[in-house]
Amino acid sequence: MERRIIHVDMDAFYAAVEQRDNSELLGQPVIIGGKPQSRGVVSTASYEARKFGIRSAMPLIEAYRLCPQGIFILPDHSKYRRVSDEIMQIFQHYTPLVEPISLDEAFLDVSGCQRLFGDSLHIAQEIKDQIKSQLDLTASFGIAANKFLAKIASDLDKPDGLVVINRENIAEKIWPLAVQKLWGIGSKSAAKLVELNIKTIGQLAKSNPDLLAKTLGSWGLEVYNLSNGIDERPVIPERDAHSIGHETTFSQDIRDQEYLTRVLLELAQDVGWRLRRAGLRGKTVALKIRYPDFKTITRSHTLSAELNQDDVIYQEAVKLFIANHAAQKSIRLIGITVSGLIREEQVSQQFSLFTEKEDKSKKLYQALDKINIKFGRKTITRARLLKDDETK
Ligand SMILES: [Mg+2]
Of 48, 99, 105, 316, which is the active-site residue? 105
Regarding whether 313 and 371 lie in a shared domain, the answer is yes
- Tell me which residue range forms the domain holding 258: 238-377
Question: How far, in Å, CA of 67 to CA of 83, rounded?
Answer: 28
Most confident of 158-162, 187-191, 348-352: 158-162
How many whole angstroms from 84 Cα to the centroid of ligand 1? Answer: 11
The Cα 215–Cα 370 span in angstroms is: 51
**10 alpha carbon to ligand 1 midpoint, in Å?**
4
Ligand 1 centre distance from Cα of residue 16 (Å): 10
Number of domains in the chain: 4
CA of 149: how far to CAs of 226, 228, 236, in Å? 8, 10, 17
Query: What is the DSSP annotation of 156-216?
Result: TT-SS-EEE--TTTHHHHTTTSBGGGSTT--HHHHHHHHHTT--BHHHHHTS-HHHHHHHH
> Is 86 found in the same domain as 211?
no
Distance CA(84)–CA(376), nearest Å, equals 12
Cα(103) to centroid(ligand 1), Å? 9
At residue 230, what is the residue type?
Answer: I
Q: Tell me the pairing of strands 331-339 and 30-32.
A: unpaired
Ligand 1 center from residue 44 Cα (angstroms): 9
Shared domain for 365 and 245, answered yes or no, is yes
Measuring CA to CA, which residue among 165, 171, 172 is closest to residue 150? 165
Q: Is 382 inside any structural domain?
A: no
Q: Ligand 1: distance of its center to the CA of 104 in Å?
A: 5
Domain final residue pick, 164, 194, 218: 164
**pLDDT(392) > 60:** no
The rounded distance, in Å, linking the Cα atoms of 179 and 196 is: 12
Inside any domain, residue 169: no
| Widest pairwise Cα distance in the chain | 64
Is 157 among the domain residues?
yes
Instruction: Tell me: pLDDT of 375 over 50.
Output: no
Distance between Cα 102 and ligand 1 center (Å):
9
Q: What are 300's strand-pairing partners?
A: 286
* Amino acid, res. 135: L
Reduce the DSSP state of residue 222 to 3 states and report it.
helix
Residue 357 lies in a domain: yes
The verdict on residue 88 lying in a domain is: yes
Residues ≥6 apart with Cβ < 8 Å to 188? 294
Q: How many angstroms does the Cα of residue 142 sit away from the middle of ligand 1?
A: 13
Å from CA of 123 to ligand 1 middle: 20
Does residue 105 have an active-site annotation? yes
264-276 in b/e form (b: 16+ CB < 10 A) is bbbbbbbbbbbbb
Please give the radius of gyration of the chain, using alpha carbons only, rounded to the nearest integer: 22
Indicate the helix (H) or strand (E) that contains 356: helix 356-374
Is 287 found in the same domain as 246?
yes
* Confidence bin at 286 (pLDDT 50/70/90): very high
Average pLDDT over residues 250-274: 88
The number of angstroms, rounded, from the C-alpha of 216 to the middle of its chain's C-alpha atoms is 26
From the CA of 140, how far away is ligand 1's center (Å)? 8
Same domain (yes/no): 283, 305: yes
Residues 257 and 373 in one domain: yes
Same domain, 265 and 339: yes
pLDDT tens digits, residue range 47-85? Answer: 999 999 999 889 899 999 999 999 999 999 889 999 999
Identify any residues that bridge with 73 across adjacent strands, giving them in sequence order: 32
DSSP helix/strand/coil, 296: strand
Range with lowest mean pLDDT among 101-110, 190-199, 200-209:
190-199
Mean pLDDT for the stretch of residues 328-335: 91
Q: Is residue 206 part of a domain?
A: yes
* Ligand 1 center to 358 CA (angstroms): 36
Neighbours of ion ligand 1 (CB under 5 A): 9-10, 13, 104
- Give the model's pLDDT for residue 356: 57
List Cβ<8 Å contacts ≥24 apart for 190-194: 192/216
The mean pLDDT of 26-42, rounded to a whole number, is 91
Q: Is 298 helix (H, G, I), strand (E, B) or coil?
A: strand
Check if the beta carbon of residue 64 is closer than 8 Å to that of residue 392. no
CA 223 – ligand 1 centroid, Å? 24
Q: Taking residues 200-219, what's their average pLDDT?
A: 91
Q: Pick from 168, 150, 190, 198: which is nearest to 3 by CA?
A: 150
